[in-house]
Amino acid sequence: MKNRLLSPYLERINRFYDSAPTESSYFARSYRRLLAHYYQLLIPRDASIVEVGCGSGELLEFLPHKDVTGIDISEKQLARARERIPHGTFYMGAVESLVDEGKVQRKFDYIILSDFVNLCVDVQTMFEKIQELAGPSTRLILNTHNSVWHPILQLAGVLGWKTSPPITNWLSSSDVQNLLELSDWEIIYQECRMLIPVKLFGLEKLVNRFLAPFFPFLCHSIFQIARPRPLNRMAPQSVSVVIPARNEAGNIEAAVQRIPMMGSSTEIVFIEGHSRDDTWERIRQAAANYPHRQIKIMRQTGKGKGNAVREAFDASSGEILMILDADLTVPPEDLPKFYEALVSRRTEFANGVRLVYPMADKAMRFLNMCANKFFSSAFTWILGRPIKDTLCGTKALFRQNYQKIAANRQVFGDFDPFGDFDLLFGARKLNLKIIDIPVRYRERTYGETNINRWSHGALLIRMVLFSLTRIKMV
């Protein structure tokens, strides 16, 4: 460490762990098994990971990843970590010094700080230095103890159920978030886990899965997921605007006329879905009448908007993928807002929101409005981040992230006929930064809605319950 004032603290921690056993108590080991369960939910199996403050490697041992790196200041603890994880790479020293000296020069997909920040002698400097281990898509995941557990953990230390480390910090989640902000890390979301942080005859599985989501303020562990704060705007990107069209003959030409040019090129992809009117003929005419526009046309082979979007995304060529409903109730003129949010790196998933600005009198029926507000509240709680409008059809994301969502689709299945939740759940699973983009919602000028409020409403309730078991109650 360059700061000599901090050396005594670092040396004290080093001496403590060099003299500490490399095998934890039953309670500590079972706690790390539970932690590993949640880390496996947050980190894809094929990701590269580094744990700063890995100790003897107990947490890393429980993770299935092949590209594993550990950093710790205790050679004694690292020797045991190498035995536990022979395929791993381990570095001895403070991460700040290792980065300054160029001993760790690679980037990682995920950086883990498990119960580490309260042992760190200078948290802000540490956060700043580990930026050197991060690329633009890297995610930092850290877990800390909830302050309400402080007296319980102190008692556990007195009783010998856990090792009492040298006293350094006791940072609240807001303290950690503030230090992350100061160090150019941007919080994506935060979640609380575990009412019972040790194995207790199987009771912990039931309580942590079904009760803990309803009592986050009492949970033991607080997980925070962050990404490096974007500093530079991206180069112009190519865009594909996908328009699923079923019985929308009167809106096709207006869509072509009104979609603005964006980025390095703008492709319009019409996918027709078993229409009863002459939508397909209008699409063919538009492609012929506007040769200066890059228009691709196709007919859907499956059923439902979700299937149409997936087929069209696979056939699109743009680096940014957008969805625009063919009813044009969301103005095509708003699409540059979605493009700008992505290329400015402010977000990785732009979600349209119809519930901010006043909408036209007949744009949305009252019961539909109530349902939208209910489902937005439900999914905000489930996803752990504010989602004001889950059912707005206009969304945008990078192709490379969509491909990752598609590769992980088996986690949530593909029974979503709308496609909105498939994308939102997938973005949450990948820890993508999601931002709501307010749009003005207009009345449709042609045709009728393809939404059946009762049958589709029942399906949405089913999806709420399903997502609970995949995201919240896990």
Element (H, E) at 455: helix 453-467
pLDDT digits (tens, 9 = 90+) for 65-103: 999 999 999 999 999 999 999 999 999 999 999 999 999
* pLDDT confidence tier of residue 253, bands split at 50, 70 and 90: very high
Task: Report whether pLDDT(52) > 50.
Answer: yes
* Entry field: residues in the chain: 474
Longest CA–CA separation in the chain, Å: 80
Higher pLDDT among residues 293 and 304, named by residue: 293
The pLDDT score that the predictor gives to residue 45 is 93
* pLDDT confidence tier of residue 357, bands split at 50, 70 and 90: confident
What is the pLDDT averaged over residues 158-164? 71
Other CB atoms within 10 Å distance of the CB of residue 303: 12
What is the pLDDT averaged over residues 180-194? 95
What is the pLDDT averaged over residues 264-280? 96
The pLDDT score that the predictor gives to residue 455 is 63
CATH number 3.40.50.720 is the correct assignment for the domain at 238-472: no
pLDDT digits (tens, 9 = 90+) for 237-250: 999 999 999 999 99
Residue 86 makes CB contacts below 8 A (sequence gap 6+) with none
Q: What residues does CATH 3.90.550.10 cover in the chain?
A: 238-472
Q: What is the CATH number of domain 4-228?
A: 3.40.50.150
Which residue in 334, 342, 315 sits closest to 234, CA to CA? Answer: 342
The pTM of the full predicted model, rounded to 2 decimals, is 0.88
What are the tokens at 241? 């605007």
Higher pLDDT among residues 312 and 353, named by residue: 312
Task: Report whether pLDDT(277) > 60.
Answer: yes
* pLDDT confidence tier of residue 450, bands split at 50, 70 and 90: low
Q: What residues does CATH 3.40.50.150 cover in the chain?
A: 4-228
The pLDDT score that the predictor gives to residue 130 is 97
